[in-house]
A and B are shown apart, each in its own frame.
Chain A
Amino acid sequence: MKIIRIIVQIGILNIFYYIGVGIVSLLNLPLPASVIGLLLLAISLQFKIIKVEYIQDGAGFLIGVLTLFFIPATVGVIDYPQLWTTTGLLVMLAVTVSTLITIYVTGSISQVIEKKEAAKKEATVEKAKGGVTVE
């Protein structure tokens, strides 16, 4: 019966997707409808409007084969030979450099922030403990 459950749950995910489509076209938003659907589902789960059991098998199945759904689009690259022009290759180089800079900058800064966050937490814990001893 698992297969029926998966199909029904994919139907529920589709409803969220189409609500996203509706919102995007109604408000004329420059956002992908699927991301709006994702946000709505996350909010519904968080506020227990929808039980996680209602979507978990369908979601797990779709995520397991997610790659399959964008292969048709990636194959479309054969229609764009401009990727192999000088500009195309330079853009690829730029993507490479940008990614490396992003990893370095993000890693270095978030390391500092994390240390502060951890120190703060420890201080709060110490304080709480102190409070207990005083009592």
Chain B
Amino acid sequence: MNEIIVVLGTVGLFMLLTKFYQRFPHPLTIPLVTTTLVSALTLVIFKIPYETYMEGGEWLQKMLGPAVVALAYPLYNQRTIVMKYKYSILSGIFIAMVTGLMTIYLMLKWIGADDSWMFTALPKSLTTPVAMQVSETIGGIAPLTAVFVMLAGFVGAIIGPLVIKYGKIESAVSRGVSVGSASHGVGLVKLKDYGEQELSVGSLSMGLTAIVGAFLCPLFVYIFM
């Protein structure tokens, strides 16, 4: 019984809040943020333990595996863009991955955060489903990773345009690859405003970053920790 209520309730809430996002598109109104907030508040207000909620939540979560596999389809569709700008995009993704991992690693070492924070924060630039699975693989706390991933997305979508403007990042490919590989899908919401090419390079970069990151994050942990 609980299971059905959670599944139907979440699906209904998600559909409603997706409509809301379509009316008021903004990085802070994306359905992931609003649905998570409303669900979490509901649990807190009605004092429902997370385990009880997860009896149904698990059903939805089981679909995450095949859904990540499905990401191969848009990647396959975008293969012509890869061929056109292969060096710029591939090197950009690699630079973004290394810069992102090194900067977060050094800053967390500097503030003295323990390893569990490190494992949780390292996958922050990957798209949420992959980041959570990578986090679990390397020993991080997946729900907190999701928070950091969202934060990286908001930063890219809201402050990213200032970096692009004052950093004089003028070409479509470099705008797409930098925001797409640092701020995944949430960053893409902003790239739409720049143009079609920024958006498609960005979404391709997001996908490739997820794959490259799934290999590099565990490797980074193995080498540095």
Residues of A within 8 A of B (CB): 10, 13-14, 16-17, 20-21, 30-35, 37-39, 41-42, 45-46, 52, 55-56, 58-60, 62-63, 65-80, 83, 87-88, 90-92, 94-111, 113-115, 117
Q: In whole Å, how far is B86's beta carbon from the nearest beta carbon of chain A? A: 8
Known: A35-B133, A105-B99. A71 touches B73 (CB 8 A): no
Partner of A30, one of B57, B66, B138: B138
CA–CA, A72 and B146, complex, Å: 11
Q: A104 contacts which chain B residues (CB < 8 A)?
A: 163, 167, 169, 178
Known: A68-B14, A70-B64. A59 touches B70 (CB 8 A): yes
Known: A37-B69, A103-B160. A91 touches B108 (CB 8 A): yes
Looking across the interface, which residue of chain B has its beta carbon closest to that of A68?
Answer: B14
Looking across the interface, which residue of chain A has its beta carbon closest to that of B70?
Answer: A59
Residue in A38, A42, A56, A103 whose Cβ sees the most chain B Cβ within 10 Å: A103
Q: B35 contacts which chain A residues (CB < 8 A)?
A: 67-68, 71
Known: A31-B137, A91-B117, A101-B103. A17 touches B108 (CB 8 A): no
Q: In whole Å, how far is A59's beta carbon from the nearest beta carbon of chain B? A: 4
Residue in B56, B69, B75, B169 whose Cβ sees the most chain A Cβ within 10 Å: B69
- Encode B67-79 as 1/0 by CB contact (under 8 A) with A: 1111111111001
Top 7 closest A-B pairs, CB basis? A72-B57, A32-B133, A107-B169, A76-B143, A34-B68, A110-B92, A107-B178
- Contact between B14 and A67 (Cβ–Cβ < 8 Å)? yes
Chain B residues 79-134 with CB under 8 Å of chain A are 79, 85, 87-89, 91-92, 95-96, 99-100, 103-104, 107-108, 111, 113, 117, 120-121, 124-125, 128-130, 132-134
- Contact between B14 and A71 (Cβ–Cβ < 8 Å)? yes
- Contact between B40 and A92 (Cβ–Cβ < 8 Å)? no
CA–CA, A98 and B100, complex, Å: 6
Looking across the interface, which residue of chain A has its beta carbon closest to that of B136?
Answer: A32
Q: Does B189 contact A (CB under 8 A)?
A: no
- Contact between B64 and A69 (Cβ–Cβ < 8 Å)? yes
CA–CA, A10 and B121, complex, Å: 31
Q: Does B29 contact A (CB under 8 A)?
A: no
Residues of B within 8 A of A (CB): 10-11, 14, 30-32, 35-36, 39-40, 43-44, 50, 53-54, 56-58, 60-61, 63-76, 79, 85, 87-89, 91-92, 95-96, 99-100, 103-104, 107-108, 111, 113, 117, 120-121, 124-125, 128-130, 132-134, 136-138, 141-144, 146-148, 151-152, 155-156, 159-160, 163-164, 167, 169-171, 173-175, 177-179, 181-183, 210-211, 214-215, 218, 222
Q: In whole Å, how far is A119's beta carbon from the nearest beta carbon of chain B? A: 12
CA–CA, A87 and B214, complex, Å: 26
- Contact between A72 and B69 (Cβ–Cβ < 8 Å)? no
Q: B182 contacts which chain A residues (CB < 8 A)?
A: 99, 102-103, 106
- Contact between B70 and A83 (Cβ–Cβ < 8 Å)? no
Looking across the interface, which residue of chain B has its beta carbon closest to that of A20?
Answer: B69
Partner of B215, one of A14, A31, A106: A31
- Contact between A34 and B69 (Cβ–Cβ < 8 Å)? yes
Looking across the interface, which residue of chain B has its beta carbon closest to that of A37?
Answer: B69
Q: B61 contacts which chain A residues (CB < 8 A)?
A: 69-70, 72-73
